[in-house]
Amino acid sequence: MGISRLMGLQVLVVEDEMLVALDLKMMLSGLGCIVVGPAPSIAAALGIVRTTALDGAVLDVNLRGRPSFDLADELQRLGVPIIFATGYDASTLPERFQGVPHVMKPIQRSQIVDAMTAVFIPAHTDH
């Protein structure tokens, strides 16, 4: 699965529901990732993005009723790979994000490992 290759990756978590954020943080930390955040809002996430080198980001699609797509655009512009975490069907994502991996809530460890291995590791090994 490449779990050992996830160790040391610096991953931003953007999630507005505290219990979900803490659960995801614990899950990622347990995989050896360095968790940045969790950021509960787009503004908080942008503050982190501007000051921190990231290997990837896990973004909640809906942050207090506001979609995180502008943040996703900024992360992609900066070359930071993203994974969406959502309770919604993938068809609700804008067309430009149809190819971006997503994990369904509640997030299962195997789902996040598979998505991170596919998306973050290739980007990380290019550094």
Task: Identify the pLDDT of residue 90.
Answer: 79
CATH number (domain holding residue 89): 3.40.50.2300
Task: Please tell me the total count of domains within the chain.
Answer: 1
pLDDT one digit per residue (tens) for the chain, 127 residues = 468 889 999 999 999 999 999 999 999 999 999 999 999 999 999 999 999 999 999 999 999 999 999 999 999 999 999 999 998 887 889 999 999 999 999 999 999 999 999 999 865 554 4
pTM confidence score: 0.93
CA distance 85 to 106: 9
Helix (H, G, I), strand (E, B), or coil: what is residue 94?
A: coil
Task: Identify the pLDDT of residue 92.
Answer: 84
**Domain coverage including residue 99:** 3-125
CA distance 120 to 20: 21
86 contacts 61 by C-beta, under 8 angstroms: yes
Task: Identify the pLDDT of residue 49.
Answer: 96
CA distance 19 to 55: 24
33 contacts 27 by C-beta, under 8 angstroms: no
